[in-house]
Amino acid sequence: MGVFRYLLPPQKRLERTFTLGDVIVLLLLASLLYAGVRLAVKAPEVITGPHISLSTSALPWYTLLSLGRMFAAYFLSLGFTLVYGRAAAYNRRAEMVLMPLLDVLQSVPILSFLPVVLLSLSAFLPQRLAAELASIVLIFTSQAWNMTFGWYQSLTTIPNELREASAIFRLNAWLRFKRLELPFGMISLVWNSIMSFAGGWFFLMAAEIFTVGNRDFRLAGLGAYLQEAANQGNTQAILWGVFTLILTIVALDQFLWRPLLAWSDRFKLEMVESDQPPSSWFYDLLHKSRLYGWMQKSLLTPLTERFDQWMLHISTSASTSIEKENKISPGIVLFYGLILITVSYGSYRALVMLASISLNQWLEIGLGVGATLLRVVISLLIALCWTLPLGVMVGTKPDLARFIQPLIQVAASIPATAIFPILLMFLIHLSGGLNVAAILLMLMGTQWYLLFNIIAGASAIPQDLKYTTALLQLSAKERWRTLILPALFPYLITGAITASGGAWNASIVAEYVHFGGQTISAIGIGALISHATAIGDYHLLLAATLSMILTVVLLNRLLWRRLYRIAEEKYRME
For the residues of 43-101, what is the DSSP string, one character each?
S-S-B--------GGGHHHHHHHHHHHHHHHHHHHHHHHHHHHHHHHH-HHHHHHHHHH
What's the CA gap between 281 and 402, in Å, rounded? 11
User: What pTM did the predictor assign?
Assistant: 0.71
Question: pLDDT digits over 525-546, tens only?
Answer: 888 887 887 676 778 877 888 8
Residue 11's pLDDT is 37
Instruction: Please name the residues in contact with 556: beta carbons below 8 A apart, sequence gap of 6 or more.
Output: 100, 103, 497
Q: What secondary structure letter does DSSP report for 511?
A: S
State the distance between the two ends of the chain, measured CA to CA, in whole angstroms.
27
Give the rounded percent of residues in the chain with a pLDDT score beyond 90: 6
Question: Chain-wide mean pLDDT for the chain?
Answer: 76
Please report which helix (H) or strand (E) contains residue 512, including its range.
strand 512-515
What's the CA gap between 415 and 375, in Å, rounded? 20
Residue pair 118/130 in contact (Cβ under 8 Å)? The answer is yes
pLDDT top residue among 434 and 157: 157
Angstrom CA distances, 429 to 393, 423, 425, 433, stand at 38, 11, 8, 6
Angstrom CA distances, 278 to 192, 232, 254, 257, 261, stand at 17, 44, 13, 11, 7
Residue 68's pLDDT is 92
Give the rounded percent of residues in the chain with a pLDDT score beyond 70: 73
Residue 543's pLDDT is 85
Average pLDDT over residues 92-103: 73
Residue 7's pLDDT is 37
Which phi and psi angles does 518 have, rounded to 5°?
-135, 160
Residue pair 63/374 in contact (Cβ under 8 Å)? The answer is no
pLDDT top residue among 124 and 229: 229
What's the CA gap between 557 and 541, in Å, rounded? 24
Average pLDDT over residues 293-321: 69
What's the CA gap between 458 and 454, in Å, rounded? 6
518 - beta bridge partners?
515
Question: pLDDT digits over 315-335, tens only?
Answer: 555 444 434 444 455 656 676
Instruction: Count Cβ atoms within 10 A of the Cβ of residue 298 and give its class: 0-12 exposed, 13-18 middle, 19 or more buried.
Output: exposed
pLDDT top residue among 325 and 471: 471
Residue pair 449/492 in contact (Cβ under 8 Å)? The answer is no
Average pLDDT over residues 78-105: 80
Residue pair 492/566 in contact (Cβ under 8 Å)? The answer is no
Confidence of residue 273 (pLDDT cuts 50, 70, 90): low
Residue pair 566/9 in contact (Cβ under 8 Å)? The answer is yes
Residue 315's pLDDT is 59
Decide if pLDDT at 224 tops 60.
yes
The tally of CA atoms less than 13 A away on the side-chain side of residue 347 is 13
pLDDT top residue among 52 and 9: 52
Decide if pLDDT at 13 tops 50.
no
What's the CA gap between 446 and 376, in Å, rounded? 9
Confidence of residue 145 (pLDDT cuts 50, 70, 90): confident
For the chain, the structural domain boundaries read: 17-268+356-570
Residue 303's pLDDT is 80
Chain center to CA of 246:
22
Which phi and psi angles does 514 have, rounded to 5°?
-105, 120
36-50, 55-69, 321-335, 369-383: least confidently modelled range? 321-335
Architecture of domain 17-268+356-570: Orthogonal Bundle (1.10)
Chain center to CA of 235:
33
Confidence of residue 35 (pLDDT cuts 50, 70, 90): low
What's the CA gap between 476 and 479, in Å, rounded? 5
**What's the per-residue H, E or C state across 144-176?**
HHHHHHHHHHHHHCCCHHHHHHHHHCCCCHHHH
Residue 494's pLDDT is 79
Average pLDDT over residues 445-465: 81
Question: pLDDT digits over 384-442, tens only?
Answer: 999 898 888 888 777 777 778 777 767 776 666 556 655 666 666 666 667 777 888 78
Question: pLDDT digits over 324-376, tens only?
Answer: 444 455 656 676 677 677 777 777 777 887 888 888 889 999 999 999 999 98
Decide if pLDDT at 50 tops 80.
no
Residue pair 93/79 in contact (Cβ under 8 Å)? The answer is no
